[in-house]
Structure 1
Amino acid sequence: MNNTTIDALKVSRQTQENRLSGNMGVGELVMNVLAFSSPLATVAGTLPVLLMFSGQTAPAIYLLVTLMLLIFSVGFVKMSRSVQGPGGFYSFVTAGLGKPAGLGGAFLALFGYIFIGFFAPSFFGVTLQGFVVNTLGGPDIPWYWYALAITAVTTLLAYNRIDLSAKLLTIVMLLEVAVVVVFDVASFSANGLGAMQGAGFALPSITDATLGLALLFAVGNFFGFEATVIYRDEVKDPDKTIPRATYLAVVGIGLFYAMAAWAFIAFFGADKIQAEAGNNTVNLFNDALVGLVGRIFADIAVIMLITSVLACMLSIQNIAARYSFALASDHALPRFLGRVHPKHKSPYASALAVGTIWAAATALFSLLGVAPEALYPIASGSGTFAVLLLMFITSFAVLVYFARRRSFEPESVWKTVVAPVISVLFLGAITCLAIANYPELIGGSAILTLIFMTFTFALFFGGIIYALFLRANRPEVYARLGRQKID
């Protein structure tokens, strides 16, 4: 055996040792990404806000967004079969728009998901604190201790093999869905078939002043489905599992929230739902549950809401850790973040880093006396905008990638031209709406809007500048960018 062969075997062995591993099937992958949208928290918290903007048109808006994101998924799935690296959108943008844009997209992904996830510790802390004091009559422990505790729990789970997270998330998701299904059935049954028919779907008008905000909030409820590709190395038969999980996630999220919105309308009445949601946004779901199935079930739903936030945070931490791992493996971030646990085959160093960032931020803001209620809308809104911007950039990258290939490898016009064009137009319009309504998205002032929006765009362009620096000064690192394996 010559030296070249020995060196090749060493490289192959090192690659295998530094590769993530798992055994998720379609169902587990779907539940893993559905946890991101935190179904119960969305129905209890975000859906009343959307009803306040849209009223009885909310179900139709969810179905419209479902259709648009299914069209996005056509090019997305096609891209996942052509670009087989485990870097998710990082790989997709690199393949379509080049390494500089790919690195900018990776920074958007990493910081976007870290920001979105940071809503959870403060929200969890406030919710659990209120439940312990007001419902259980327990001690008034400061919210930040609960926030630090949940961060420790999710970090421990993210540290372990992905299959453990997938099993836990599957159980929590099934329980969450069961609570909302009980609400749906009870609502439709409360006033008989007539009320259900009276709450039929109403189509939104393009002249509705609040349609843009309603669409923006609805699209945000779907986030998580786009992360299926980041788990390529951790699922069974990725070329089948990822497409099936993607389509199932989009359809499942859309129908689930459309039905829940319809149930709200059936209970409160089509002519009253918008006013009710505006007057009682925070307690709309809880009050409806108490009226339909009683206080005991409503308290059970609060417990499930608390576990829902934990599941959401774990799902986001898993995604953020894998983007950090991808960047570190390409040497764009410190290499220790690219370590794989020898037993769990998880990106444990990156998972620990994400948990440490959340814990440190929680401690810092609590010491500064920042109210937790001020943290989670800013964290969630700014992170949502970063991921939305990334999805728009990715849709454009998909279109460019297949347009370049048509000259030597023409493929389905629907999958490689029509669907990507529709996706670019739709996501571009939603991104413009997000920019126009950014203060409402983060619940902040004009100054905060300027700071966080500037920071978001600086992430993308900063990544481009960093890539150009690497090309000029560290070409061996630049050559690694993108984690690409293109067929």
Structure 2
Amino acid sequence: MSTEPSRQLKKSAVGTSGIVFFVVAAAAPLGATLGAGPVVFAANGLGAPGMYLVASVVLLLFAIGYAAMSRHVTSAGGFTAYISLGLGNRTGQASAGVALFAYNCMLLGLVGQFGVFARDLVSHWGWDVSWQTLAVVALALVGILGYLEINLSAKVLGVLMLAEVLILLVFDAVVIVRGGADGLDGSAFVPGNVFSGAPGIALLFAFTCFLGFEATTIYGEEARDPRRTVPRATYVAVVLIGLFYTVTTWAIGLAHGSDVRTRASEDPVNFVTGVNTAFVGQFATDLMQVLVVTSVFAVLLAFHNTLTRYMFSLGRGGLLSVQLARTHHRFQSPHRASVVQSVITLIILAAFMAAGVDPFEQLFAWFVGLGTLAVLVLQAVVTVAVIAFFRRRGGGPLWQTLVAPLLGTLGLSVGIVLAIINFDVLIGISSGMAFLLPWLIPGAALLTLAAASVASLRGRTVDLAASATPAITTAPETAGACSTEEGNLNDRVKQPRC
């Protein structure tokens, strides 16, 4: 038996439902509803549910091309592998830096949010525990789960995600059955209401509620039958998330009635919990306060797993240390990447704690806002990469390989412009910091390109596309079509073996 360390993730470890649990948990349905929901209503009023529907359509267009490419490429590198194959290795290297930066920002910001929510929760039980202590405990648990096999994380996320979704679905059902405050109506979806008020801010915050669903592809190497599982999970995730937010915000609007915009502006903290108490009861609201903490914990675990798989893939591709591309002999998890990621997060968090940074108004607001913008940029670049990939190699329905990705690019570009214009609103500050922070995104790209150049000068090959594997035969599916060789993906795409 070989004593060489494994460089393979656990095969056939998760199915469609497991991947959906990971990415829906990352979207934090309960946390996003309580956090971003009031902002969307304050900006958009009655038309907020319609704006969530608009965001759903844009991201579904993105998902069409993304899923089409996932049938041809399987990689734990997600965005970076797709961009490398579509737009070239150097562009892929730049995107790797942006991806690591984006998801680390999300993780750091959400750790701050978790610390605040958990501190407030335990204080109601009479315990005085600092947010710093609770944040460190959460990161330790996340690191342990990330170290162990993926099935355990999927089960934990499945339970937590179902609980937070269920409590909001109960609220939705009660409000709809009782007819809300003023009766059922569809005014939330009338274009005049959807695009009223400040639709740009509303659309931007609606986009933030979907962050995480794009991570379906990073589990391709661990999925059962990735050719079918990953595209199916991508579609299921974006449709479920979109329907959930649309229906739930519609119910919230019905519960508040015609003055919903005023209520969202005047009391955002109790905007959702107040009507939940009125329609469902105090017990449901007390339970909601517990589940919002577990919701944020689920997001931490989901983004930690995303980062460890990026690090694993980048180690295999030569951009990071090859040691990160080793997997556990028993769990077949990227355990070294999990440990390194946990240490990095703890060190950065400790620095912010020492500096006295506010966990919510600064750590959460700044970093989640910055991460949101970076992910939108990556999504837009990926849609361009999908178009380039299929234009170069040919094949595939025009709707999936050109039209939908092009429309998705346009929609995401609007989101990026809105994020830049309204970045001060997104992060909650109006100082020069709002102008400076977005420049960290191209800075991360340039830093990664420099690191890749140094690695190449030292004789190390940095090829992020080569670490990907084909999900299916890339030759045309016709009678007598050739099978493909194992090895470098670029060779396999171009050189079928008969």
Q: Assess same fold via TM > 0.5.
A: yes
Distance verdict in 2 for CA 1:319–1:189, change over 3 Å: same
Contact in 1 for aligned 2:187/2:193 (Cα 8 Å):
no
- Provide the rounded CA distance (Å) in 2 between the counterparts of 1:291 and 1:328: 52
Deviation at 1:203, TM superposition (A): 2.1
Cα distance in structure 1, aligned partners of 2:201 and 2:111:
26
Inter-CA distance 360–478: structure 2 relative to 1 (3 Å threshold) = closer
Q: Tell me the amino acid that sits aligned with residue 324 of structure 2.
A: L
Segments of structure 2 that go 5 or more residues without pairing to the other structure are 470-488, 494-498
Residue 201 in structure 1 maps to residue 186 in structure 2: no
Counterpart-to-counterpart distance in 2, 1:193 and 1:363: 47
* Shift of residue 388, structure 1, vs aligned partner: 1.0
User: What's the CA shift for 1:315?
Assistant: 0.5
Unpaired segments of 5 or more residues in structure 1? 1-8
**Cα distance in structure 1, aligned partners of 2:401 and 2:465:** 24
Asked if 1:243 is matched to 2:231, the reply is: yes
**Residue of structure 1 equivalent to 2:249:** 261
Q: CA deviation at 1:74?
A: 1.4
Q: Structure 1 stretches (4+) deviating beyond 6 angstroms?
A: none
* Residue 141 (structure 1) aligned with residue 129 (structure 2): yes
2:467 is aligned with 1:483: yes
Q: CA deviation at 1:450?
A: 3.2
Alignment partner of 1:120 is 2:110: yes
- Aligned residue for 2:94? 104
Contact 2:15 2:229 in 1 (8 A): yes
The alignment status of 1:402 with 2:390, answered yes or no, reads yes
The answer to whether the 8 Å contact 1:398/1:420 transfers is yes
Distance 1:176 1:207 in 2: 29
Q: Give the one of 222, 234, 238 matched to 2:222.
A: 234
Task: Using the TM superposition, give the Cα deviation of residue 469 of structure 1 relative to its aligned residue in structure 2, in angstroms.
Answer: 4.4
Q: Distance in 2 between matches of 1:298 and 1:384?
A: 28
Give SS of 2:183's match. Answer: helix
Residue 335 of structure 1 pairs with residue 319 of structure 2: no
Q: Is the 8 A contact 2:150 2:333 kept in 1?
A: yes
Provide closer, same or farther for how the CA distance between residues 480 and 207 of structure 1 changes in structure 2, counting only shifts above 3 A.
Answer: closer
> 135, 138, 159: which is aligned to 2:147?
159
In the comparison of the two structures, how many residue pairs are matched?
Answer: 469
Instruction: Give the whole-Å Cα distance in 2 for the aligned partners of 1:479 and 1:91.
Output: 9
TM-score by structure 1 length? 0.91
1:430 to 406, 411, 415: 415
Residue of structure 2 in register with 1:310 after alignment: 297
Distance 1:42 1:282, change over 3 A: same
Shift of residue 139, structure 1, vs aligned partner = 2.8
Secondary structure of the structure 1 residue equivalent to 2:76 = coil
**Residue 288 (str. 1) matches residue 275 (str. 2):** yes
Task: Report the more deviating stretch, 324-333 or 202-211.
Answer: 202-211
2:46 corresponds in structure 1 to: 56
Contact 2:48/2:194, CA 8 A, preserved across alignment? no
Q: Helix, strand or coil: the match of 1:197?
A: coil
Task: Give the match's secondary structure for 1:166.
Answer: helix
Q: How big is the shift at 1:201?
A: 2.5
1:421 aligns with 2:394: no
Give the Å deviation of 1:102. 0.2
1:449 equivalent among 434, 441, 457 = 434
Tell me by how many angstroms 1:47 deviates: 1.0
Counterparts of 1:309 and 1:201, CA distance in 2: 30
Partner of 1:5: none
**Counterpart Cα distance in 2 of 1:278 and 1:395:** 36
- Give me the whole-angstrom Cα distance separating, in 2, the residues matched to 1:198 and 1:228: 33
Aligned sequence identity (%) = 33
Change beyond 3 A, Cα 1:206–1:314: closer
Question: Higher helix fraction: Structure 1 or Structure 2?
Answer: 1
Compare 252-261 and 42-51 and name the one that shifted more.
Answer: 42-51
Structure 1 residues 235-286: Cα deviation after superposition (integer angstroms, max 9, x where no partner): 11111110110000000000000011101111111x2111110111111111
